[in-house]
Amino acid sequence: MSETTKAGFVALIGEPNAGKSTLLNQMVGAKVSIVTHKVQTTRARIRGIAIHEQSQLVFVDTPGLFKPRRRLDRAMVAAAWGGAGDADVVVLMIEAHRGITEGVKAILENLQERVGKATVALAINKIDKVKTEALLGLTAEMNERFPFEETFMISAERGHGTDTLKAWLAAQLPEGPWLYPEDQIADLPMRNIAAEITREKLTLRLHQELPYELTVETENWEERKDGSARIDQIIYVARDGHKGIVLGKKGETVKAVSTAARQELEEFLGRRVHLFMQVKVRKNWLEESERYSEMGLDFKDGN
């Protein structure tokens, strides 16, 4: 590789459901972050790795910035601002049809102080939901509130405008050697990615019933001689009643979740997977530092 290579970190920040995970997966060209309609699905700072010409972009998909109420919320918000503070470039994502919400205003108030010397761009997402005049007005007002380096109008889901954004981001990165091997698309351990896939399937399956106080951990990963993998996971819930919701009638819900997660894991890994799940009640898991470590969060940040 020539000496003109570039590498650096790009933090995606914004309110919950702004489309950060969708944009990350679009940029990387593979699914590395949970994408659901339910807010606050991303808990840790997930890094996806993309290549554009001679640049390696390490995307940090941060948890959505919102008003924290409990320890887990506070740890997630701290992780989001931490990701922004460590980045070379920060992209603030907002939704075109929602405009400048109270949450966006709160982010703008903290932005300059939190991002340090990072270059900051604005990405207005879901542009297909509003008319051009409204987009132009929103762009003007946002740039009056903060001196963004560039503004991009995109549809992360459809991929509109994302190539232009990616090329611009690649040009902003500092010169230096690549930080990861060329074929690596994420720096989360596979155990964590497997747990995130299962958590996504639970979210999609249960919708409104899903207890927020739920987490998934990969307890064991065994490589088998035939090339397949055996994966054992535990779904932790905080109450006895939640266990019944996750299991479903005659275990139908957890069986459907297991099948969907196994199929996605097999596609992701390109080989057979034997997936086994248990559901356990752990009433105080939200106060256990070990659970936060598994999610890639700092327990102390929740204080």
Confidence check: pLDDT of 104 > 50: yes
Question: What's the chain look like in SS3?
Answer: CCCCCEEEEEEEEECCCCCHHHHHHHHHCCCCCCCCCCCCCCCCCEEEEEEECCEEEEEEECCCCCCCCCHHHHHHHHHHHHHHHCCCEEEEEEECCCCCCHHHHHHHHHHHHHHCCCEEEEEEECHHHCCHHHHHHHHHHHHHHCCCCCEEECECCCCECHHHHHHHHHHHCCECCCCCCCCCCECCCHHHHHHHHHHHHHHHHHHHHCCCCEEEEEEEEEECCCCCEEEEEEEEECCHHHHHHHHCHHHHHHHHHHHHHHHHHHHHHCCCEEEEEEEEECCCHHHCHHHHHHHCCCHHHHC
Confidence check: pLDDT of 75 > 80: no
Predicted pLDDT of residue 37: 47
Confidence check: pLDDT of 253 > 60: yes
Query: Residue 125: what residue type?
Result: N
Establish whether domains 6-172 and 190-302 are of one fold: no
The class that CATH gives domain 6-172 is: alpha beta
Confidence check: pLDDT of 2 > 50: no
Predicted pLDDT of residue 175: 94
Neighbours of 151 (CB within 10 A): 16
| pLDDT range class, residue 182, cuts 50, 70, 90 | confident
Candidate from 197-211, 216-230, 248-262, 289-303 with smallest mean pLDDT: 289-303
Report how far residue 12's alpha carbon sits from residue 18's, in angstroms, rounded to the nearest whole number: 10
Q: What is the mean pLDDT of residues 6-35?
A: 80
Confidence check: pLDDT of 239 > 90: no
pTM score, whole prediction = 0.64
Comparing 53 with 17, which gets the higher pLDDT? 53
Report how far residue 127's alpha carbon sits from residue 146's, in angstroms, rounded to the nearest whole number: 20
Confidence check: pLDDT of 188 > 90: no
Domain boundaries, the chain: 6-172, 190-302
Which structure tokens are listed for 236? 């932790």
| pLDDT range class, residue 228, cuts 50, 70, 90 | very high
Predicted pLDDT of residue 88: 87
* Cα torsion angle, 28, 33, 34, 38, sign: negative
Residue (of 86, 11, 82, 94) closest to 48 by Cα position: 11
Report how far residue 260's alpha carbon sits from residue 78's, in angstroms, rounded to the nearest whole number: 32
Query: How is the beta sheet containing 89-95 ordered, strand by strand?
Result: 46-52, 55-61, 6-14, 89-95, 119-125, 151-153
Percent over 90 (pLDDT), the chain: 37
CB 156 within 8 A of CB 163: no
Mean pLDDT of the chain, nearest integer: 81
Residue with tokens 């603030």: 92
The domain 190-302 is placed in CATH, from the list 3.30.300.20, 3.40.50.10490, 3.90.1300.10, 3.40.50.620, at: 3.30.300.20
Residue with tokens 């297991």: 258
